[in-house]
Amino acid sequence: MTDRVLPDVRTSVEEAVELGEQLVDAWGCWSPTMTRNADRVAYISDRSGMPELWVQDLEPAPAPATRVPLTEDPVVAVEWSADGAWLSCAVATDGGVRTQVWVVRPDGTDARRVAGNRHVHAELGPWTRSGHRVVVMVPSPHPGEGTSCYLADPATGELTQLAVGELIHVLDISMEERLLVLRDGRRGHEFCVVVDRLTDRDHRLLPPDETGSTEVAFVRRAPEDDPHPAVAYLVTDAGRPRRQLVAAPLAPGGRHDAPRTLAARDDAELEDIDADDAGTVLMLVWNVAGRSELELMDALTEERIHVPDLPGTVASDPVLSRDGSSVVVTVDGPERPRALWRLDVATLTWTPVTETPPLPDRPLVAPTLETYRSSDGLELTGWLYRVPGRTEPGPATLWFHGGPESQERPDFTPEHQALVAAGIAVFAPNIRGSSGFGREFVHADDIAGRYGAFADVLASAAHLEAIGVADPERIAVTGRSYGGYLTLAALAFHPGLFAAGVDICGMSDLRTFYRDTEPWIASAAFPKYGHPQRDRKLLKAISPLRAAANIEVPLLVVHGEHDTNVPIGEAHQIVAALQHLGRPVEYLELPGEGHVYRRATSRKRLVTEFVRFLSRTLRA
């Protein structure tokens, strides 16, 4: 691209940085939870610069929101008790990976920590359907030990042991605290069981020979004409090509009927569900190549009704009121931050619940979905943010999401918009291992399949060149978490192909990752990355640190001070190795942050350094 064209397709670097900071300030609202009669909603919002707990009346709408103070740490989850008397919250200890569980009255009184501290991680589980006690789960901080689950009394903080298992999570607990729905198993191989606490019997909801994973499940009353008193609803791809809605009838004495599929689509995966208390109305959220579609389902007739006019491209955290009359859901898109919207089930009309913050007075870029193939013929997709007005190849960056069992979606991403404003096209692929594209695709990168993921990185760069977006001499590779690992792997194992890299909280050596990460994270990861002993040779071969000498282009490494998921040592050792070799490496450490950067001050620093670094190294 010539200098004559550049002023027409980009702003200055500092103007792009300013845009990124303004978009970070465009706060959002997410993770709604409602009272039993659906007259109030609690949620998380970072309108103050950090995720905090907020409460708001739903009638009349929109009503003023009230902040409920807890601690100085970010709030990461919230659940309203069924009796309306309490809110339970997960709080990120010191902003890091470990969380504590707190309870508080909706008016902010009687706040107390019931589980977790700086050394012990505690996870928030569901309230009982009666609302009197809440589940907390405490993984052991010691390798080889399991997770203990408790019922916590919010008024006294007393913990009563509920279940113990290696990697268990309590997903649901019935009204009378008799039936537990437990999830167990490692990443990609999770399964669910129902435990009858009265008879001390457990029942696996799907046959054990069905490969795949079940991550969402709960129990409701069975439809009126069903002879069983209860039914478990599951979101699963076990034995199925994509995630589907499955019903598993439950009966006393173990006389359970076989599970059956209630809803499936060839073009989409079921992402989440919710149901009313009576089990008559189901809310389904479908993932269609990254975009969301919602349906309502009558549990008796199994009729599905499409919900029109979703006010955004991506919906998450659906909450169906207990009487089935309304839904509150988080919605966002490339040009709007996360906000809460309410759906009237009878009329299928949408109403905004939360305010929309002011946005910069300039158009943002809506990405287009690209389809291409990897070297082995596997079809891949990705979201392309083009530089407006550009008609010739120019600087571009690949952006790889974390997980890898996550998915790049057309949502609100300040970094992407700021880079495009600086004249750098952004391509965010969903390579093998990403969720949303079926069971085979999400497992295609397991263990030795990692080499296929490396090939997908190269195919993504080649696609940018083939469609005339990228100058092959000015392509960077960037990403966070697993995407940061891919960045380092691309630079170390394929030198000369990329002009620069940005590694955000990525693993540099999978052996030290296993050694230093939280024990429950390591134990769950064996099927995805390989076993730290049995697959040690492979883990060494695919660790970028061993080939650090091949990294000769500029690299920016970013890591959170309190990250114990991908421990900060992963950043320190790759930076030290490159500094020893005299290579161009820069390091940004974000104080008070863990694996996810939640404070606006940290996110502004990140977007600033990100844009300046790539603008400089790609000559944008």
Q: Model confidence over 250-307: pLDDT tens digits? A: 987 667 888 999 999 999 999 999 999 999 999 999 999 999 999 999 999 999 999 9
Q: What's the pLDDT at 4?
A: 32
**Better-predicted residue by pLDDT, 60 or 191:** 191
DSSP string computed for 475-503:
EEEEEETHHHHHHHHHHHHSTTS-SEEEE
Structure tokens at 136: 């907390």
Q: Please determine, for residue 178, whether its predicted confidence score (pLDDT) is greater than 90.
A: no
Q: What's the pLDDT at 10?
A: 52
Q: Are the C-beta atoms of residues 594 and 96 closer than 8 Å to each other?
A: yes
Q: Are the C-beta atoms of residues 145 and 134 closer than 8 Å to each other?
A: no
Q: How confident is the model at residue 2 (pLDDT cuts 50, 70, 90)?
A: very low
Q: Model confidence over 536-587: pLDDT tens digits? A: 999 999 999 999 999 999 999 999 999 999 999 999 999 999 999 999 999 9
Q: Please compute, for residue 265, the number of CA atoms within 13 A of its CA located in the half-sphere on the CB side.
A: 18
Q: What are the beta bridge partners of residue 159?
A: 152
Alpha carbon distance, N-terminus to C-terminus of the chain: 10
d(CA 189, CA 415): 33
Q: Please determine, for residue 198, whether its predicted confidence score (pLDDT) is greater than 90.
A: no
Which parts of 483-584 are beta strand (E)? 500-504, 555-560
| Averaged pLDDT, 177-200 | 93
Q: What's the pLDDT at 61?
A: 67
Q: Please determine, for residue 8, whether its predicted confidence score (pLDDT) is greater than 60.
A: no
Q: Which phi-psi region, left, alpha or beta, contains residue 50 (left: φ > 0; alpha: ψ -120 to 50)?
A: beta
Q: What's the pLDDT at 138?
A: 97
Q: Are the C-beta atoms of residues 185 and 193 closer than 8 Å to each other?
A: no
Q: Model confidence over 349-404: pLDDT tens digits? A: 999 999 989 999 999 999 999 999 999 999 999 999 999 999 999 999 999 999 99
Q: Which of 217, 295, 169, 236 is nearest to 442 (CA)?
A: 236
**Where do the domains of the chain lie?**
6-23+360-617
Residues near 590 by beta carbon (within 8 Å), at least 6 away in sequence: 558, 559, 560, 561, 597, 602, 605, 606
Structure tokens at 311: 């006010």
Q: What's the pLDDT at 7?
A: 38
Q: Please determine, for residue 6, whether its predicted confidence score (pLDDT) is greater than 60.
A: no
Phi, psi of 474 (to 5 degrees): -135, 50
Q: Which residue has the tokens 């913050």?
A: 357
Structure tokens at 319: 């909450």
What Rg do the C-alpha atoms of the chain give, in angstroms? 24
Residues near 618 by beta carbon (within 8 Å), at least 6 away in sequence: 395, 396, 397, 424, 474, 476, 499, 500
Q: Model confidence over 305-347: pLDDT tens digits? A: 999 999 999 999 999 999 999 999 999 999 999 999 999 999 9
Q: Are the C-beta atoms of residues 20 and 28 closer than 8 Å to each other?
A: no
In the sheet that holds 585-590, the strands lie side by side as: 368-373, 379-385, 425-430, 394-400, 470-480, 500-504, 555-560, 585-590
Q: Which of 456, 455, 476, 489 is nearest to 570 (CA)?
A: 489
The third-level CATH classification (topology) of the domain covering 6-23+360-617 is Rossmann fold (3.40.50)
Tell me, what amino acid is at 247?
Answer: A
Q: Please determine, for residue 62, whether its predicted confidence score (pLDDT) is greater than 80.
A: no
| Averaged pLDDT, 159-173 | 95
Q: How confident is the model at residue 223 (pLDDT cuts 50, 70, 90)?
A: confident
Note the pTM of the prediction, 2 decimals.
0.95
Q: What's the pLDDT at 91?
A: 98
d(CA 214, CA 184): 9
| Averaged pLDDT, 589-613 | 98
